[in-house]
Chain A
Amino acid sequence: MGNYLASIPEKAQELGIIINNILFEGFYLRKKLGLIVNPIAGMGGRVGLKGTDGIETLKKAIKLGAKPWAEDRAREALKQLTRLKEKIELITYPKQMGENVAVSCSFNPTVIGELSGEMTTAEDTKRAAREMLDLGVDLLLFAGGDGTARDIYDAIDLKMVVLGIPAGVKIYSAVFAANPTRAGELAALYLEGRIKDVIEAEVLDIDEDKFREDQLSIKLYGYLKIPVERGYIPGGKSPTPVSEKYNQEEIAADIIDEMSDDYYYIIGPGTTTKTIMKMLNLDHSLLGVDIIYKRKLIGKDLNEKQILEIIKGKKAKIIVTPIGGQGYVFGRGNQQISPKVIREVGKDNIIIVATRRKLQTLRGRPLLVDTGDKELDKHLSGYYKVITGYRERTIYKVST
């Protein structure tokens, strides 16, 4: 009986009757889970190399005795999905890019594509992601670090729901679950349809060359769609939950209500801040810094110099939102808003906005600043009235 039911989707697809997960006679089609393991992710960290981007670094890492561990991390996640193994189709890439892990967790995976060589590259990751997108994968689990997330983003943008299994040296991006087990659990809940909420989470990109020289330069590279579980179970006193998008709109409505025509508004990157631009029907750059004045766009995707030119001698406010999983309000993905810009505007004119979910995911840790100017970071520390909803503020600590 079980086999027969499982075979319905394929038969239906062969007949061309049903396409992707449409309800068929009371049964859902088997969901497709993609799995990509970046086998070299995380190898640099254990030998003190701060990443494995670039073939030379990888060779150096191996020479220093680095061992692959991304497969172990992926296995931890996949173990959480074994109970669904009859109900989902696992699609993966050969050998160390997923097949090995899948087989070791007793899955019978559909293996696609081929590896470019023994040592896998970013191109392999991108190609695999693209192929999975073409196959209509419902959720793509990938094991790696920020570099892997960046490759996935390059390949698929927002076209597919993904979730990162943290296995890299650098995990600044917000697309990763807290740990591999959590990644597996979230994936299971999503595939079972028990959670349906999807948000756009930041992919942060570090310049690894500078990082190895102990210079931290991070930019917001883009967004990937990830599933999220609301910290919520219906009960007598639980408030009606609102979606992330609605929460962003609430925040934007509050900002717009309070906007003064006397100020230039420097709008930092991020989906929360850019909702303000959307609600004002203004063109904007999602990943860059824009300036508005009297509700009109003055400059888009500006660099530090351009910002300083525009605001010189004027009254200005900065609107920023925490970027990435660790809650940086300055110094991650918004370096255009430099120490000079911040000093020009003044601490009192900094407006921090954050969705309630974003603050809750910090689990009580403070928001952070890392402008590269230690004096300024110290000056910026303290309590802020973070705008978390329409006519709603949350006092939250900012620290260095």
Chain B
Amino acid sequence: MMKGGKIKLRDFHEAKWDEPIIFELNRKGERGILVPEVEKEIEEEVGDGISVLPEHMIRKKPPALPEIAQVRVLRHYLRLSQETLGATINIDIGQGTCTMKYNPVINEVFARSPKVTELHPYQDQETVQGALEIMCKLDLFLRELSGFSRFTFQPGGGSHAIFTIMSIIYAYHKHRGEEEKRNEIITTLLSHPSNAAAPAVKGFKVINLYPNEYGLPDIEALEEAVSEHTAGFIVTNPEDTGIFNPRIKEFTKIVHDVGGICAYDQANANGIIGIIRAVDCGFDLGFFNLHKTFGSPHGCGGPAVGAVGVTEKLVDFLPVPLVDYDGKKYYLNYDVPHTIGKVREFYGVFPVVLRAYAWIRSLGAEGIKEVARVAVLNNNYVMKKILSEIKGASVSFPKTKHRIEQIRYSFEQLKKETGVSSEDVIRRMADFGFHLWTSHHPWIIPEPFTIEPTESYSKDDLDEYLTTLKRVVEEAYEDPEKVKNAPYNCPIHKIYHEPLEDPKKWAITWRAYLKKRKNWE
């Protein structure tokens, strides 16, 4: 932290509550809320509200939920929150690829207003004109930012948006009678893993392009990949390396020349928003994550929206309903001739749409460009400091000089010289209250770490993070074992990966845990 004009390392210690899983707190008969019985007069007037339920809809057994009083629920979640190194509590630039930034709290006030929380998706359209107006206008903003002709907010996240894109590409070729022949989707190895996974789920074959020494796919490799079987091309640009492919227009042309469709994964648009437009790069469709870039936390931290935009030729394939305006009122438009149908119930996670709308309105056109400029500036400042001041660190694909909004670095030299890996550094950073995370797919860069400074962090913030990183690296050279055995100030020391890789052992629900635990014993 900055103290008296100098940066001082934090004397941090994470909280430990040893808190059980909420199901383990269950005490039979304990209640959080006692629902009052219906009063006699009301019952006589409208019934008891329960007997009208059809027999087949009434549970035979009550749900196996924990029985627990309100105060214990509150205590439970507050304790868990104290054990979390959340985005708003630390300088979260170490969670590269996730675009961790400040999400204005004022927007949260809007999103939590009863005007929003009490909306019901089955309400008559006449009564939700304000919400529909916001959706319609956000669509117009995003059209301006991308050059696309229409947006849908139905997909509930980035991967869902990619799946929607694949469904649109499939529907487009099917409409032309080519769906059997066009069964290949091309992507790059450094694009987001869902760029390959979603087409595979949709039934496409997937062709990956490897990065060359500049960290970019070769044009010649794309030429080898395209054929009459090409259905489409989906790419992230810049990829997680922060390198922007300046020849992207040539790439999209090659794909168009064989009849393919080009999709732009702009899940993280933070370094290019307002600077470049997808259509100008030759893309036919693409998506923004309204979380991440547009003022809601990253999808893993809450509800999300993958806003899919398309050019005119693909508008007729979008999911229904679209939100339209007839000059007098806003309405849900189901008249989309070749629609792929619904990819999710209703028309999008409205609070996320609302926050994105508010975020854009508060920044304005110039403010949005400023976001990108500052994010890029911060990133290149951090790069310069890391390369000049942090021993043992290097940048991936060194032949490319300029980076956009994030960078995948390497501690390969540090590992060679000290035996300390990037994973060890990550754990030691937690001792000072910093998060440095571990997802660096597809792991072709040795000892990786990914830093994404975004526009939210001041120079002081960045310097504090870098000073700590520098200190940890100095420790690695002075006393490698100290770093290897970290963390010391966190209640959980080391986690072995093995069970997390074993489908027989991992459990993401309490019920699955109870079921699988039987086999462990």
Contact = CB atoms under 8 A, between A and B. Distances in A.
Given A383-B220, A383-B221, A235 B438 contact: yes
Contacts of A233: 423, 438-439, 497
A356 B437 CA distance: 23
B508 to A, nearest CB: 13
A40 B145 CA distance: 67
Interface in A256-273: none
Contacts of B207: 385, 392-395
Nearest to A188: B419
Contact of A236 (B220, B225, B437, B501): B437
Contacts of B496: 193-194
Interface string B434-472: 000111111110100000000000000000000000000
A360 interface: yes
A65 interface: no
Nearest to A243: B501
B419 A185 contact: yes
B208 A363 contact: no
Given A237-B439, A384-B224, A364 B213 contact: yes
A55 B497 CA distance: 47
A116 interface: no
B300 interface: yes
B97 interface: yes
A63 interface: no
Contacts of B443: 231-232, 360
Nearest to A235: B439
A234 B416 CA distance: 23
A388 B208 contact: yes
Given A236-B300, A393-B207, A393-B208, A363 B444 contact: yes
Contacts of B442: 231, 356, 360
Nearest to A392: B206
Contacts of B206: 391-393
A83 interface: yes
A80 B220 contact: no
Interface in B220-252: 220-225
Contacts of A196: 498
Q: Choose among B98, B196, B205, B416 the residue with the greatest number of A CB atoms under 10 Å from its CB.
A: B205
A181 interface: yes
B444 A360 contact: yes
Contact of B481 (A83, A238, A383, A395): A83
B210 A396 contact: yes
A331 to B, nearest CB: 22
A364 B444 contact: yes
A358 interface: no
B49 to A, nearest CB: 42
Interface string A363-377: 110000000000000
B225 A395 contact: yes
B32 to A, nearest CB: 31
B189 interface: yes
A389 B210 CA distance: 15
A397 interface: yes
A313 interface: no
A233 B223 CA distance: 34
Contacts of B497: 194, 232-234
Interface in B168-218: 189, 192-193, 196-197, 200, 204-213, 218
Contacts of A193: 496, 498
B500 interface: yes
Nearest to A363: B444
A362 B225 CA distance: 21
B39 to A, nearest CB: 49
Contacts of A385: 207, 224-225
Nearest to B217: A395
B197 A393 contact: no
Given A83-B481, A231-B443, A360-B443, A392 B208 contact: yes
Contacts of A26: none
A202 to B, nearest CB: 22
A373 B221 CA distance: 25
A232 B437 CA distance: 12
Contacts of A364: 210-213, 444
A297 B160 CA distance: 45
Contacts of B501: 230, 232, 234, 240-241
Contact of B193 (A234, A237, A391, A392): A237
Contacts of A117: none
Nearest to A394: B208
Contacts of B220: 382-383
A239 interface: yes
Interface string B140-152: 0000000000000
Contact of B189 (A240, A384, A394, A397): A394
B193 A395 contact: no
A165 B218 CA distance: 35
A322 to B, nearest CB: 14
Contacts of B211: 364
Given A385-B224, A395-B224, A236 B439 contact: yes
Nearest to B222: A395
B437 A234 contact: no
Contacts of A388: 208
A240 B210 CA distance: 20
Contacts of A391: 200, 204-206
Given A181-B419, A237-B192, A364-B213, A395 B439 contact: no
Contact of A238 (B213, B416, B441): B441
A232 B189 CA distance: 15
Interface string B289-314: 00000000000100000000000000
Contacts of B97: 237
A158 B407 CA distance: 42
Contacts of B441: 237-239
Interface in A295-312: none
The 8 closest A-B pairs by CB, nearest first: A235-B439, A231-B443, A383-B224, A233-B438, A395-B221, A391-B205, A235-B438, A394-B208
29 contacts: A83-B481, A193-B496, A193-B498, A231-B444, A233-B423, A235-B437, A235-B438, A236-B300, A236-B439, A237-B192, A238-B193, A238-B438, A238-B439, A239-B193, A241-B501, A356-B442, A359-B210, A363-B444, A363-B446, A382-B224, A385-B207, A391-B204, A392-B205, A392-B207, A393-B205, A393-B225, A394-B207, A395-B225, A397-B221
Interface of A: 80, 83, 181, 185, 193-194, 196, 230-241, 356, 359-360, 363-364, 382-385, 388, 391-397
Given A385-B224, A391-B205, 8 more contacts: A231-B442, A233-B497, A235-B438, A360-B443, A391-B206, A394-B210, A395-B207, A397-B210
